[in-house]
Every structure is written in structure tokens, then in C-alpha cells.
Chain A
Amino acid sequence: MAALPIASAHPKLHSLIAQLNQIILGKDRQIRLAVSCMLAHGHLLIEDVPGVGKTTLAHALAKSLGLQFQRVQFTSDLLPADVLGVSIYDRETGKFKFHPGPIFSQFLLADEVNRATPKTQSALLEAMEEQQVTMDSETHPLPRPFFVIATQNPSTQVGTFPLPESQLDRFLMRMEIGYPDRAAERALLAGADRRVMTAQLQPVMSVADFSDLQAQAGGMHVAPALLDYIQALVESSRRAPQFVSGLSPRAGLGLIAAARAWAFVAGREAVLPEDVQAVLPSVAGHRLKPAQNVSRAAAQELHNEWIKSVAIP
């Protein structure tokens, strides 16, 4: 993917990205993807080996946006109630009282989500999808805005429960962070402690400001020609023999939303095929399962080939 213009038409968005770039070095593209995902009202799944800055990115994002932040470390003995909350009998009132769990926050970091049991995973993901928690026939709405960044270790690691496709579909994007390049690594090693830096971060915009940006991103112009391209992609994915199943209509909608947000971040007048292609690996990567069990690198190659095979109408 070609280098992207750093400038953004929106000063606050620009300072957000600039601030994140100071924490996570040499990962401009991943930062933009994460911001785009949030602008598109989507949840983000970061999949990578430990220690590349998944948690730091999530934490920095929450801090920079001034969002109420919660972190849950998923383990194999974590129960749904540990995430959602629990109703406890109150002797004084003689009633059950709901004690909200960590999910009741504006920004939830679900660390190592694939280490939890499927039961706990699905409790989280259903709440994510519905933006509410129902317990004892009582419905508790989640706060707004509500973002989940889940991280997961590569599923080949021991003691993990990989998320099934149906759950993966609830994340708008899945991305990797990857190792920093040489210069960034050097700067990282030479620089201050990231944890301290993150703790000192100041919000660059209010929650209202961010909602406004979300609305603006959602209003990006999508031309019929671009819809043609998205349809061509979706249809091609359904015909492609190299994938188990094609992109769902939800994936198509997600693709448009993500491309809009990306185009908005890039400071464009309208969404271009380039924007679609920029978000496509993150939006489609976890939804298109290769028909044959192949390595991660081979799967990525498969995706790239597929994208190249679809002509822009």
C-alpha cells in the first residue's frame, strides 16, 4: 500500500493521530485504521503476538478521546458475570441490586479475548452487538459512545479458544500491528516509558467532538461508481473458490462505513476505490476464511490476489 498523506483536513483529528503517533512509533497506518474503525462506529479486533503495543494503542486511544476506560484481562476461568456485572441481594432494601461489570464503560479493552471460554466470549460479543446488557429480565443500556477493542493472540498458541466466524463478524475490523521498523524500534528503545507517557496523555477532543466527526465521516459522498466497485468485490468474494464463504451484506455495509471513515481521515472529498482497498484487508480479512487450512502469510497472499483480481468498474 502506498504511503498516505499525513495531513488531515480536520485539525482535531490531525492532533489525535499525531498524538497517537508519538506513543506508537512507526505505525501510522494502524493508528489510522483504528481511528477509522471508531469513526465508523465499529469494534476493533487486534490480533498479534504479545508486546507489540496492542494494549498501549487501546489505552492511548481512550485517553486521547477522553473516554471512560475499562480493561478486562480475559482468562480461561473468566465468567460472563465478571464482564457484564452481577445482581446481588441487598438486605437493606430486600431487593436484588445490579452491580454493573467492566463492560459498562465507554471504552472497553478486552485483552486476550481468545483465552476465555466461548460462553464468556459470546456474552461480551452479544452485549457489543446489542449495546445493552440483559440480566434477570432487566435491560441495562451500555453507555454511549461504546467501543470495544479486543486483542487476541494468534490462535495457534496453546490454551486459546479461537473466535468462531459468527463472532468475528461483529468486529468491523481486524488488524495486526506488527513489529516496528528499525528506526522506530530505536526511538522506542531510547525513549521514555510508554506507560508513563500514556498516563500523562491529555484528551484532544471532547466526546461531543468525536460524535461530530463520526457524523461527518458517515456523510462522506459515495458515488454510484464506487458502489459498483463494492458490489463487484462482494459478488466476487461469493464466487471465489479460494474462500469458504463470501462477504455477507453486513460485511458490505461495514466496508462502505469503513471506507467512508478512511476517506474522511485521509481528508478526501469523496470515497475512492483506494479508500476501499485501504480498509479491505482489515474489514474482509477475518470474514473470508480460506478454503484450505493455510498459514497466516499464505492467507494474506490469498486476499491480496483476490483484491487484485477484481477490476474497478
Chain B
Amino acid sequence: MPQFFRMTRESLTSDRQAQSLPAGRTAILTLLMALVPVLGPHVAHLPAWCSAFAALMFAWRGYITWREVKRPTPLPKTWLLMVLLVITLAATLYTHRTLFGRDAGVTFLTILVSLKLLETRTKRDIVVAISLSYFLILTNFFYSQSIAVAALMLVALVLITSALIAANRDADAMPFMRQTRLAGVVILQAFPMMLVLFVLFPRVPGPLWGLPADANAGVTGLSDNMSPGMITSLSLSDGIAFRVTFNGAEPRPADLYWRGPVLSAFDGRNWRIQLPDPKRPSRFEPGGATFDYSVTLEPSSRPWIFALEMPTKLPADAHLTPDLQPVVDKPITSRRRYDAQSAPQYKSVATETQEDLAPYLALPEGSNPRTRNLMAGWLFQGRGPAQIVDMALNYFRTEEFFYTLEPPLLDNNPIDQFLFISKRGFCEHYSSAFVVMMRSAGIPARVVTGYQGGEINPVDGVFTVRQSDAHAWAEVWLRGRGWTRVDPTAAVSPARISFGMHGALPQRFAPPLITRFTGAWSAAWLDRVRFDWEALSNRWNQLVLNYSPDRQRETLERLGMKTPDWRDMAIAMVTGVGLICLAVTGWMLRTVREHDPVERAWRAFCKRLARAGAPREPSEGPLDYARRAAGQLRTGTADTPGAIEAAAAAYAALRYGPKPDKVRVRQFTQLVRNFQI
């Protein structure tokens, strides 16, 4: 039996060598080049050993291909590749603890494509490697669907197609540029088909391709709890939280409080959402102007959305919790667009009883004693709740408090430490301390997190709210006024609210790279470029990434398909693809297209005569033809034969005469147009 196996393998090997192709060299080099943009973005999330391994394998393959020109260079033995495969598989398992899921899958595919290249001998092998590379393009979209990645993948697509072309030109390799240009043309030709499939292919709700569950892991954003330093770290992120387009007027910057999680449970250090919710919902009456807007929310894996205080209209699947936090039924796992309406000049209505308010007064036993003492002192002075609120804000204003991104670490009794010792903090410190102060003084209070401000793009009027706009403020319940917003950060740093975070921070802080340019020292053109870019990526989000089942239905309705179901879509898709195929076929089968108006008119003229019964022989000169046709035709008036011969003579003069005169061309085309038969 071993003998038998050896024979089979040898015959296979010799067969393979017989098939090895010179054009394969170009194909392999092109593919190696194409894999740079395909795998480049993955380096950021592949394990370092995997990137290094792939780079090494590519270099090895490149070296072999380069050396092959001078002398035959064997590819590594199969057993060696097997050993490498086992080792790297083990490493994958060790790194990711699994072979499935997004990260492990990409690692695995990267290893496979690197090893496949080292055993690529025949045309079939390289086609397999090319197909694998096409699939690897897709994996990049598991991580990012930005314009930059899409553009890079387009480059990769053209390069891989170029490799495919090279692989199929068996003997005669094309120059690289020509082959790549051809690949570009091929991709361009596929564009209408892509457009039809994009618009009409039935959409499934949820993220593109049903991303693996870990696709949104590590997404930054507000969470359901707040501890000192959390928003600080968030504020260092350039990440976009959501984009807003106002339909009509925009609110004042100071009114741009985007309400998110409302935190009312405190354990002495961390703030959490109160569970279970208080029974009686907080109430408010919309007053003053209302603003309509649509929000495009980035995926956060959290079941809440953001709306301006206070929302009067929300999407159908959203509602307000008793704490007035807008939430939805399911976590937001894909970018989502919704319409909302808000009334920033709302008036709270105080309907709560003592019982309802009890949770907003709770403080852990024995925590932060100095704060309690301070508040007990103020209460002892006989101050009312409204006065105590003012005193607290005044305390922040008059004592040496600083608004800083580098607060010192706080350990036990963080509120005491912050209020009396460090006096340096970010918005979460101020809001947290303020609420504790209020509760110590018997005033119901809660922390509200969300985003404050946002930046308007003058190019398309879209507000962009970034993670760095994350903010925390407070609400106190006052008799007769209900829940009232108090922003202690504004007391310390009014600029934070008026000019955004970077107006409030000393310059030595290094805010995120992008937002750094928004400060007063930024160059105007840079702003301009940034705004243009953001407008473009917003358009990309709206038109491409956010093309959800709903948007698809809207589009199809606009195209005249009322209540489209999947069957209509399938029919439309097949029709569209069929039409494109037909057009392409027609274009390929077209006879020489006439650019010359004279020739076009002459052909139309001949066609008309042919329909009347006198088709032109291909080898017949115009005068001969006209004479024959004039004698042959029985229809038409007495002038018809003369008209035919005149037209032919005019054509002959234009086509074979010395100078094509524009006037005569027009006369001729007119003559033909007016010709009746």
C-alpha cells in the first residue's frame, strides 16, 4: 500500500510540474501585492505573531518567485507546511481560546492564505488562493465599514482581479499596468450590477451579514453605571456617538443636553441605574419651541437612545423610563437612524409623593461623613432646598475647584476627598458630589449622563456628537418645580457648556487628535477639510451603511413599488440584472458605432430604402445603389427617384470628397430626414 501511495503522489507531482505556468509568476506577485491592502487593516486586531507569520510567509513566497527567474527554486516541502499549519493552529487556539468567531476566524484565514501561497504550483492553486483573498476582503468589514476601509478594499478588489487575469493568461503575461487597468475596467463593468443588487437585494434587519456577536465588543460609550474617571476616559475618544440633523431651527448650544442613562443608585463610589424603576414616572409639560431632528446613532450594544431634553416624540419602539431616560426594546447593535422631537424649555410637574422620592435620597450608611456634616451645617442654618442648591453651586465656584482631565485618584469616601482635598475633577466628579450633597441635605437628586453640545458641520448642517462630548449633570427635585436640571460643571467651568470641552481645558491637555483642531488655534482650512470629510462620511452612513429594510422599502416605494414584498424585489432584481446583461450583450454585439453624422444619416437612409424593398448590397457604391434603387422602387412620388439619386450624390461628395463642410453635412442630414418613401 505505501508503494501505491507513493506512486500516486509522484504522478500527481509530475503532473503538477507539467502544468506550472510562466504567467503564474505575475499572478503570484500581483496577489502578494493585493494582499497588502487586504491584510493591512487586520494588523491592528490580529495577534502580533500572526501578522509576523503572514509577513514572513509572503516574503518567503516573494523570494522564491523572484529567484525562480534565474534558477528553479523548489517550494517548501508539504510536511514542513503541515508542521507550520499545526503550530499556527495551536497558537490560534491558545490566543483566542476558540477557532470560531470573528477574531479567531480572521486569524485562521490569514494563516491559511499565507500557507496556501507557499504551496501554489498550478493554476488551480492560485485560483484557490485568489478566491480566499476575495473572501478576506469581506472580513475587513467585520471591523470597520468606513469609507477609508471601503476605498482600500476597492483597491484590493482591483488588484486581486488583476491577479486573476494574470492567472488566466496562461503563457503570455501582460504588463502589470495593463492587466490592472483591465481589472479596473472589469470592476467598472460590474458596477451597474452591483448597484442593482445593492438596491434590490432583500435586506435583513440588523447589521451587515449578521456580524458575529463579538463584533461590537469594546465599543466605547456611556454605560449603565458611572464611577470616577469613566467619562474622563470616554472624553479622550474621537469616536462618534451619534449625528443629528435638525429639521428647521437648531436649539442654543446651552440647551444641547442629550439625555442618556439616568443614574440614581449610589453605593458610595459608583452610580447605577435604579432597578427596579420607581413606580411613578416623572412628568413634564413641553413648553416653548419644539425642535424636530433625526439622529443617526452609532452601535453601542446598549438598549438606549439619546434625545434632547425633553423628548416629546420618540420612535415607535422607544419609550421613556420613569426617570425620563429614552430606551428601546433591544440593544443597538447596528447603526440606527430615528426621528425625534424635543422641547428644551420643558416644565417639570411635581406629582411625586414622599414615597416616590425616597430612592433619590438614599445614601450608603456612613459614607462620606464630611460631606454630610457640611450639609447638616447648611441645614442647621435653616436654608431651604433652593438656597442649598445655590449654596452648593457657589461652593464649587468660590472654592479652588478645577475642571481637569487629570483628576487625582480617589479612594475611600471619594466625595469627601474630592470636595475637601483634591478639588480637581471632571464632570462626573462634580455631578456625583453635587447629588451626594443634595441627598445629604434631604433634597431628592439624581445623576443624568448623556452628551452635551456637539459640533455643527457647516458643509451639510449635521451635528456630530462625539464620545468626547460625554457629560454628566444632576437633577434635583424641588417642591412645586419638580425635577430641575442643575449642571455643577457649569458653575466651575462655564466654558464647558458654552464652547465645548476644549474651550474649558487648559491647553497643556492633549485632547483627541481630531478635536484638537477645533480649538481657537486651529487652521481654518483644516476645519474645512474635516467638515467636508465628515459630511462625506455621514452621507456614506446614510446612503450605504444605513440602507436598512425600512430604507429599502422607502426607496422602492419612491421607485413606484407600493408595498414591495420579497417576491416583487426578486422579480425586480432579476429584471434589472437581465436588463443589464442584455445591454452588455447588445453593446458587445454592436456593429461599428457611427460617430460620423454623415455615415449615420446614410445608414438610416439605406435602411429606409431597404424597408421599401431595395436593400443595399455591401459592395455597392452609393451612386450605383441609388440608381438601382431609383429604378427598382415602385412606391413614392415622381420625385422619389431623383431625390434618392440626389441624396446618394450628396453622400458620395461628403464621404469621398475633399473637405467635409459643416453646412453641407447639415444639408445632407436634413435631406435624408425629409426624405419620404
Q: Are B623 and A308 in contact (CB under 8 A)?
A: no
Q: Does B3 sit at the interface, judged by CB under 8 A? A: no
Which A-chain residue is minimally distant from B631 (CB atoms)?
A2
| CB within 8 Å: A-B pair count | 50
State in angstroms the CA–CA spacing of A223 and B617 once bound together: 21
Q: Does A108 sit at the interface, judged by CB under 8 A? A: no
Q: Are B658 and A269 in contact (CB under 8 A)?
A: yes
Q: Which of B617, B627, B656 is the one whose CB lies under 8 Å from A308?
A: B617
Q: Does A272 sit at the interface, judged by CB under 8 A? A: yes
Q: Which of B620, B621, B658 has the most CB of A within 10 A?
A: B621
Collect the chain A residues with CB atoms within 8 Å of residue B628's CB: 2
A residues 225-251 in Cβ contact with B at 8 Å: 225-226
Collect the chain B residues with CB atoms within 8 Å of residue A225's CB: 655-656
State in angstroms the CA–CA spacing of A271 and B655 once bound together: 10
Q: Does B624 sit at the interface, judged by CB under 8 A? A: yes
Q: Are B656 and A312 in contact (CB under 8 A)?
A: no
State in angstroms the CA–CA spacing of A310 and B621 once bound together: 11
Q: Which of B619, B624, B627, B656 is the one whose CB lies under 8 Å from A270?
A: B656
Q: Are B657 and A269 in contact (CB under 8 A)?
A: yes
Q: Are A312 and B653 in contact (CB under 8 A)?
A: no
Query: Binary interface profile of A, 297-310, with partner B (CB < 8 Å = 1, else 0)?
Result: 00000000001111
Q: Which of A2, A223, A308, A311 is the one whose CB lies under 8 Å from B655?
A: A223
Q: Does B425 sit at the interface, judged by CB under 8 A? A: no
Q: Are A272 and B652 in contact (CB under 8 A)?
A: yes
A223-B619 contact, Cβ under 8 Å, with A2-B627, A272-B652 = no
Q: Is the interface on chain A under 10, 10 to 19, 20 to 34, or 35 or more residues?
A: 10 to 19
Which B-chain residue is minimally distant from A1 (CB atoms)?
B624
Q: Which of B618, B653, B656 is the one whose CB lies under 8 Å from A311?
A: B618
Which B-chain residue is minimally distant from A221 (CB atoms)?
B658
A310-B655 contact, Cβ under 8 Å, with A2-B624, A2-B627, A274-B624 = no
State in angstroms the CA–CA spacing of A225 and B602 once bound together: 14
Q: Are B658 and A270 in contact (CB under 8 A)?
A: yes
A221-B657 contact, Cβ under 8 Å, with A2-B627, A272-B652 = yes
State in angstroms the CA–CA spacing of A2 and B627 once bound together: 9
Q: Does A218 sit at the interface, judged by CB under 8 A? A: no
Q: Does A277 sit at the interface, judged by CB under 8 A? A: yes
Q: Does A273 sit at the interface, judged by CB under 8 A? A: yes
Collect the chain B residues with CB atoms within 8 Å of residue A312's CB: 618-621
State in angstroms the CA–CA spacing of A145 and B652 once bound together: 34
Collect the chain B residues with CB atoms within 8 Å of residue A307's CB: 619
Q: Does B453 sit at the interface, judged by CB under 8 A? A: no
Q: Are A272 and B622 in contact (CB under 8 A)?
A: yes
B669–chain A nearest beta-carbon distance, Å:
17
A223–chain B nearest beta-carbon distance, Å:
4
A residues 119-175 in Cβ contact with B at 8 Å: none
State in angstroms the CA–CA spacing of A272 and B655 once bound together: 9
State in angstroms the CA–CA spacing of A222 and B619 once bound together: 18
A49–chain B nearest beta-carbon distance, Å:
30
Collect the chain A residues with CB atoms within 8 Å of residue B618's CB: 310-312
Collect the chain A residues with CB atoms within 8 Å of residue B656's CB: 221-223, 225-226, 270-273
Can you report 30 A-B residue pairs in the complex whose CB atoms are below 8 A from each other? A2-B627, A2-B628, A221-B656, A221-B658, A222-B656, A223-B656, A223-B657, A225-B656, A226-B656, A269-B657, A270-B656, A270-B657, A270-B658, A272-B621, A272-B623, A272-B652, A272-B656, A273-B621, A273-B656, A274-B621, A274-B622, A274-B624, A277-B619, A308-B617, A308-B619, A309-B619, A310-B618, A311-B618, A311-B619, A312-B619
